[in-house]
Structure 1
């Protein structure tokens, strides 16, 4: 199935949508495993947590340079994920607030958005809020919008996105077009195809313009 509903929620109550960027809107995920290998850390290790744990100034600077090189290289190759642009168009038609919350650096996020031709008013990076899965980024966005987390939908492609949604109290969609990970059960909706997700949301909206 293209969509799995783990926990039903009424989409008509959603007033704002927060997107992850890489792997969610843009085909721009860095080669994380290659990066971990170059850094000499185990598969699955949180790269940003590893970076923050380094106390040696010279090693920290070198590690930061490597991480940012991977981020910039992948951003320069960024293209739209199938159906993501149409999903944003739907939310725009519904006059929903939209924002991006990414663990990326500002320069890489800007390059990715420029490649997509996407201009959203609110884009938070790890320089603007504590990195996901900390809920600070969502909390800042909710304050800006003056909306409750319960009326926010968070869409992402990885565990940290789902954990962020849970920590902040929002609804969540996991975009996973290929293998469904074991943590997918944490999402309200698991989506393999954005077009199917759009059709699912349309069934709950009676006044599409």
Structure 2
């Protein structure tokens, strides 16, 4: 996998991952996997989808939901988040959130952190990332070409989803080393660095 080239002057929309991109997340996925019985090398949501026992599936989804709701109530905006959202609105850029969270947890997290983004796509709406369906749906909804939308995230799934949708991507590292940098069109340490980059669009 490579990445789609970014021309910042062509960007008309900025779409975000939620957890550890816009707001903090401290979910203990190792413990959650142990509770559910999911191997460490397997995607958690895919594992639950493949469970054949209805009771097991229901119990696993309830555990995931509780972890997500607890995480939502403890979350806080990442550095530069609120300023970047204000910048996006003031510059008439379109925006949305695409998250692997469930709708209930995502909405609680967005309300808790007072994020001014109303277009939310969760795992109930489309196959979860790295599937590109949610990003492609937004491109159709906004009547934009894929290269006009920048998808911003902190994890490999985000970069893969953007690549699969033929869209440029931005990796936010929050000042930490990342093995995912080669797969991103743009790498920034913090969200205020992305705001600075976007401010260069009309120069």
Please give the TM-score of this superposition, normalised by the length of structure 2: 0.92
Question: Deviation at 1:65?
Answer: 1.1
Instruction: Choose the corresponding residue for 1:93, options 67, 87, 90.
Output: 90
Q: 1:92 to 1:182 in 2, by over 3 A?
A: same
Q: Assess if the C-alpha contact under 8 Å between 1:76 and 1:111 holds in 2.
A: yes
Question: Deviation at 1:178?
Answer: 4.2
- 1:3 aligned residue: none
**Partner Cα separation in structure 1 for residue 25 and residue 125 of structure 2:** 21
Q: Assess if the C-alpha contact under 8 Å between 1:19 and 1:25 holds in 2.
A: yes
Structure 1 unpaired stretches of 5+: 1-5
Describe how 1:34-183 pairs up with structure 2 within 5 A: 34-183=31-180
- 1:25 aligned residue: 22
Moved beyond 4 Å, runs of 4+: none
What is the CA deviation profile of residues 100-124 of structure 1, one whole-angstrom value per residue up to 9, with x for unaligned ones?
1111111101100111112323111
Q: Assess if the C-alpha contact under 8 Å between 1:28 and 1:112 holds in 2.
A: no
**Partner Cα separation in structure 1 for residue 28 and residue 162 of structure 2:** 24
What secondary structure sits across from 1:27 in the alignment?
coil
Question: Deviation at 1:44?
Answer: 4.5
**Partner Cα separation in structure 2 for residue 106 and residue 61 of structure 1:** 16
Counting matched residue pairs gives 201
**Partner Cα separation in structure 1 for residue 63 and residue 52 of structure 2:** 16
Q: Assess if the C-alpha contact under 8 Å between 1:13 and 1:151 holds in 2.
A: yes
**Partner Cα separation in structure 1 for residue 24 and residue 17 of structure 2:** 12
Q: 1:119 to 1:200 in 2, by over 3 A?
A: closer
Please give the TM-score of this superposition, normalised by the length of structure 1: 0.89
Question: Deviation at 1:8?
Answer: 5.9
**Partner Cα separation in structure 2 for residue 36 and residue 70 of structure 1:** 11
